[in-house]
Structure 1
Amino acid sequence: MTSTDTIRTTAGRGETDTPGDRRRWFALAIVMTAAFMDLVDVTIVNIAIPSIQRDAGASFSQIQWITAGYALAFAAGLITGGRLGDIHGRKRLFLAGIGGFTLASALCGLAANPEMLVAARILQGAMAALMVPQVLSIVHATFPAHERGKVFGLFGAIVGLGAVSGPLLGALLTQWNLFGLEWRPIFLINLPVGILGLVLGTRFITESKAPRALKLDLVGVALVTLGLLMLLYPLTRGRELGWPLWGYLSMAGSLVVFAGLVAYERRKAARDGSPLIELSLFKVKSFAAGIAVQTVFGVGLGVFFLVWTLYMQIGLGWSALRSGLTGVPFSIAVSTAAGLSVQKLVPRFGRKVLQAGALLMAAGVLLYIWESDRYGMSITSWQMALPLVVMGAGMGLIVAPLTDAVLSEVPREHAGSASGLINTVQQMGNALGLGLVSVVFFGVIDDNLAPDRVGPEFVNAFKHALGWVAAVLVTIFVVMFALPKRPAQHIEGAAEEPLPAGKRTSELVG
C-alpha cells in the first residue's frame, strides 16, 4: 500500500492501514452485491417470460414492456443518478437507490395484473438508475488507480456470476412454483438481499462527493430524458402499432433534442460549471471511444439475450430449467475470462485483448448459426455448449477491461457523471437492441403461424437475428482501434494520481 493510498484510506485520522483497507473492501463487497442484484434481475426476468405470459395473461407487447420498460427507465435516469451522487453524496444516493429497488421488487412480486407489473418494473428501473452509477463512482473515488484493475476484474467476474445465476435461479424458482406463486419469487428474492445491503451499506460505505459544489441541471435532466424516450419508445412499440409515421418523426426529432442538449450543456458549463453531462469528458480519447463501444455492445447483447430465450423456450419448446442449465457454460466462460483478462492479459497485451474478445465472440455467434442450421429442431443442449463457451470467453475478455479502459483517464471529480454515462449508453444500446428484436427477429416471422410452423419459424428468425449480432461485433472490433493501447494504470511506471488541489484528505473518504 502506498503512502497516498494510506492517506485516502484512513482519512487522515492516524488509523492503521489494515482497518481502513478492510473497510474499503467491505464497502466494495456491498456495492458489488447491489450490482449483482441488478444483473440477476435482468437475466432472471428473461427466463421467466413464458411463465409470466401464461400465468398473468400478458400480451407480447406487455412482455416486451416488462423488459424494455425497465431498460428505458434505467437508461433515462442513469446520467441524472450519477450526477446526483456527485452533488449529494454517492453513499446517500446508493442507499436511496437500493431501498427503492427493494420496494419496487416487492411491488413486482405482488402485481395483480400485467399493467401493474409493467409500472412496477419501470419504477424498479428508475431506482436502479439511482443505485448503479454509484457502484462505479464509489470504486473510482475509493480505490487508487493501481488497484482498480483488480477491482474491475472482480466486477467482470460478478457480471459472469450474475449471467449464470439469473437464468438458473429464474428457472428453478419458476419450476418449483413456491407456495403456488408461479413467477413471483423471481422478484421477491430481492427483498432479503436489498434489506441486507441497506443495513450493511449504512455501516461500511464511506461518503464521497465531487470536490466542489455542483448544482443539479434540471433543464439537462429534462432534455436527456425527453431525447431518450423519443428515440426508444417508438422502437419498442413500432412493430405492434404498424410502424406509424409519428414513430419515425419522433426518432428523427430525438436527434434534434440531443443536439439541443449538447448546445445547452456547453453554455451551462461556461456559465456555472455544473452541467448534467460533463462534455469535457469526451475530449478524453479513451472515454469517448469506450462510450462508442459500450453503446454498440449494448445493442448486440440486447438482441441476443431476448431472442435466445424465445428461441429455446418457444421455438424449441424447452422448459425454463433446461434453458437455464444450457446457459451455464456461457456464464462460466464469461466469469473465467473476465478475471483472467484484467489480471493477466490486459497488463501485457492492452487493447488487443478486447479486440480478440470481439472477434472470439463473433466466431461463437457464427458457430451457433451453423449449428442451429445443421441440427434444426433436434439440436441438444450439449451441442450448444461449444458456441456458448466461445461466445462467453469473448464477452469476458471485453466486459471487465472495457470499464477499466473507459474510466482510466477520467478526473475523479467527474466519476459520477462518467459512470452514469457509461451505464446510460450501455442501457440505451440494450433498449435499442430490445426494440430491434421487433425488426430482426419478429420481422421475419409470419403474424398468423400454424402451430406446427412456430418452431421452424423461430429457429429461422434466431439465425437471422444472430447474423445481425455478428455484424455488431465486427463493428465493435473496428471501433476498438480508437481505444488507448493500454489503460493508464497499466502503463509501465505510471504515476499514482495526485490528490485534487485544495482537497482535504478526510473528504476523499467522506
Structure 2
Amino acid sequence: MTFTETPSGVQPAASDRRRWFALAIVMTAAFMDLVDVTIVNIAIPSIQEDAGASFSQIQWITAGYALAFAAGLITGGRLGDIHGRKKIFLLGIGGFTLASALCGFAVNPEMLVASRILQGGMAALMVPQVLSIVHATFPAHERGKVFGLFGAIVGLGAVSGPLLGALLTEWNLFGLEWRPIFLINLPVGVVGLVLGARFITESKAPRALKLDLVGVALVTLGLLMLLYPLTRGRELDWPLWGYVSMAGAFVVLAGLVAYERRKAARDGSPLVELSLFRVKSFAAGIAVQTVFGLGLGIFFLVWTLYMQTGLGWSPLKAGLTGVPFSIAVSVAAGLSVQKLVPRFGRGVLQAGALVMAAGVLIYIWESQRYGPGIAPWQMALPLVVMGVGMGLIVAPLTDAVLSEVPREHAGSASGLINTVQQMGNALGLGLVSVVFFGTMSDRLRPAEVGPAFVDAFQYALGWVAAVLGAIFLLMFALPKRPAQHVEGAAPEAGEKGPRTEPDKEPELV
C-alpha cells in the first residue's frame, strides 16, 4: 500500500486494493473482541458452577475487562498516533492472544479475573487502531461502505459469540468445561498477527507527538475512582468511601481537562485532544455513545442471567434464542449506512432508538404475561424489534462521530469513542448491582429463584427503555447528516490535497 504524507495525515493511493486486505484483518480483530464479550456472557453460569466463582467475581470477570478496556483506550489510541497504528495493533493482538491463553488455563477465579483485566488492557491497545486505521486509510466517500461492513461484523459477532459460547460449553471439549471459549482466540490471534504484519501498512500522526504520562495517570485514576465503587458497591453495602471516590473522580477528571488544555498550548501533545470537542458531530456522538453503552451493559448481562439462572435454560438454548436478535442487528446495520442514512440522515438513528425501546417494552410485556414459562419462540418478536433498532444505530453512529474528525487525530478520536462506550458499558455493568441484584433478596430458596429473576429482569428492562428514550433526545444534537452524506458533497479536501495548512489548526465546527 502506498501513502502520501500530508499535513492532515496519511492517505492511501485510491487504486490500491491492498487496503481491503488490511480492512479484513482489523475487522477480524474487532470481531474477536466482540465475540469475546458475548461468548463470556453466555458461559457465566458454567464458570460460576465449575470454578466456584461468587457473584462478585462473576461481575469482575465482565466488569474487570470493561474497566481495563475503558481506562486504557485513550492511551492506546494515542500510542497508535505516536508510534504507529500498525505497530500498536500488532502488539495489542499479540497480548490479547496471550491473555486469552491465561484465561483458558486459569486455575481459580482470582487468576481468571486478573487474566481478564490483562485481556482488557491488551484490547485497549488493539481496538482503537481498527477505527483509526480505517479513518487514515479510506477516503470519506468510501467510509460509509466500510462502516456498513463494520455494522455487519457487529451483528455477526453478536450471533457467533453466544452460539460459540453455548456450543463450546455444551460440548465440554477434552473435559475443559468453559475454557475453550477463551482458547478459541489463540488460532484467530496468531493468524491476525501474521497477516497483519504482512498487509497492514504503517501510519501515524504527521508531526512528532509525545505520550502524555500525566494525562495517562489522571484519566486512568479518574475512571477507576468512578467505576470501581459502582462495581463493588452492593457487595460492600455501599460504604462511605465509595461515594467519596465517585465524587472525587469528577474532580480528577476536571483536573485532567485543565491539565490537557495547558499541555496542548505548551507542546501540542495532549493525551486527550480537547479541540475535538469543538467538532459538533464528535461531541454529540460521544454523549450518545456513553449512554448507549450504559444501556447495553445493563441489558446483555441481565438477559443472560435471566435465561440461564432465572429460567433454568441451558447455554445452547439461551444462545440459540439470541440468533434472531443478532441477525436483525447485522441486516439493519448494513442497510442503515448504505441505504437509509444517505437519504434520511439523523432520523435513521433516532428511529433506531425508538424501535429498540419498543422492542424492550414488548419484552417486558411478554415476560410479565408468560412468567417463568416463557418459550424461546415467544421472545423472537421483541428480540427482532430490538435488533433492528440497534442495527439502525450502531454503524451510522460511528460514521457520524468520525465524519468531521481531522485525520491527524484519528487515533485520539477512536480511543475516545471506544473509551466512552466502554465507560458506559462498565457503568451499566456496575448498575446491574442496583437495578437487578438490588431488587432481590441475598438469600433465595430454590423455588424463589425463578420468579425473583423474572421480576428483576423486568425492572432492569424498564431502566434500559428509559436510557433509550434519553438517547433519542440526545440525538437531536447530532448533525442532520454526516459530512460525507450531504447531498452533492465532494470527497473531502484531504483526498485531493492537504486538508489543513501545516501551520494552521484544523477547521473545527
TM-score bracket for the superposition, by shorter chain length: over 0.9
* Pair 1:227 & 2:222 matched: yes
Query: 2:370, 2:35 → 1: CA distance?
Result: 31
Pick aligned residue for 1:38 from 33, 38, 47? 33
Q: Aligned residue for 2:349?
A: 354
Pick aligned residue for 1:306 from 283, 301, 316? 301
Pick aligned residue for 1:96 from 91, 111, 119? 91
Whichever residue aligns with residue 353 of structure 1, its letter is V
Q: Aligned residue for 1:507?
A: none
* Pair 1:260 & 2:255 matched: yes
* Pair 1:161 & 2:156 matched: yes
Query: 1:301, 1:214 → 2: CA distance?
Result: 35
Query: 1:496, 1:107 → 2: CA distance?
Result: 46
Q: Aligned residue for 1:27?
A: 22
CA displacement at 1:211 relative to structure 2: 1.1
Pick aligned residue for 1:286 from 266, 281, 284? 281
Query: 1:128, 1:46 → 2: CA distance?
Result: 17
Query: 1:274, 1:482 → 2: CA distance?
Result: 29
CA displacement at 1:493 relative to structure 2: 2.2
Query: 2:11, 2:332 → 1: CA distance?
Result: 31
CA displacement at 1:222 relative to structure 2: 0.2
Whichever residue aligns with residue 397 of structure 1, its letter is L
Whichever residue aligns with residue 423 of structure 1, its letter is N
Query: 1:94, 1:425 → 2: CA distance?
Result: 20
**Preserved CA contact (<8 Å) 2:11 2:136:** no
**Preserved CA contact (<8 Å) 2:56 2:235:** yes
Show the 5 A alignment for 1:431-442: 431-442=426-437
Pick aligned residue for 1:9 from 8, 12, 22? 12
Whichever residue aligns with residue 152 of structure 1, its letter is F
Show the 5 A alignment for 1:416-455: 416-455=411-450
* Pair 1:216 & 2:216 matched: no
Distance 1:4 1:337, change over 3 A: farther
Q: Which runs of 5+ in 2 are unaligned?
A: 503-509
Whichever residue aligns with residue 361 of structure 1, its letter is M
> Which secondary structure state, in structure 2, belongs to the residue aligned with residue 453 of structure 1?
helix
CA deviations on 1:177-206 (whole Å, 9 max, x unpaired) are 000000000000000000000000000001
Query: 2:125, 2:337 → 1: CA distance?
Result: 27
Q: Aligned residue for 2:124?
A: 129
Q: Aligned residue for 1:142?
A: 137
Whichever residue aligns with residue 469 of structure 2, its letter is V
Q: Aligned residue for 2:42?
A: 47
Query: 1:4, 1:339 → 2: CA distance?
Result: 31
Query: 1:53, 1:407 → 2: CA distance?
Result: 40
**Preserved CA contact (<8 Å) 2:358 2:385:** yes
Show the 5 A alignment for 1:360-379: 360-379=355-374
Query: 1:377, 1:58 → 2: CA distance?
Result: 25
> Which secondary structure state, in structure 2, belongs to the residue aligned with residue 485 of structure 1?
coil
Alignment identity in percent?
A: 86
Query: 1:367, 1:274 → 2: CA distance?
Result: 49
> Which secondary structure state, in structure 1, belongs to the residue aligned with residue 442 of structure 2?
coil
**Preserved CA contact (<8 Å) 2:218 2:252:** yes
> Which secondary structure state, in structure 2, belongs to the residue aligned with residue 134 of structure 1?
helix
Query: 1:494, 1:249 → 2: CA distance?
Result: 50
Q: Aligned residue for 1:171?
A: 166
* Pair 1:392 & 2:387 matched: yes
Pick aligned residue for 1:463 from 452, 458, 467? 458
Q: Aligned residue for 2:331?
A: 336
- TM-score normalised to the size of structure 2? 0.95
CA deviations on 1:61-84 (whole Å, 9 max, x unpaired) are 111100000000000000000000
Query: 1:392, 1:243 → 2: CA distance?
Result: 35
Q: Which runs of 5+ in 1 are unaligned?
A: 11-16, 504-510
CA displacement at 1:492 relative to structure 2: 1.6
CA displacement at 1:8 relative to structure 2: 4.1
Whichever residue aligns with residue 38 of structure 1, its letter is D
Q: Aligned residue for 1:188?
A: 183
CA deviations on 1:260-318 (whole Å, 9 max, x unpaired) are 00000000000000000000000000000000000000000000000000000000000
TM superposition outliers: structure 1 runs of 4+ over 6 Å:
none
Query: 2:490, 2:313 → 1: CA distance?
Result: 54
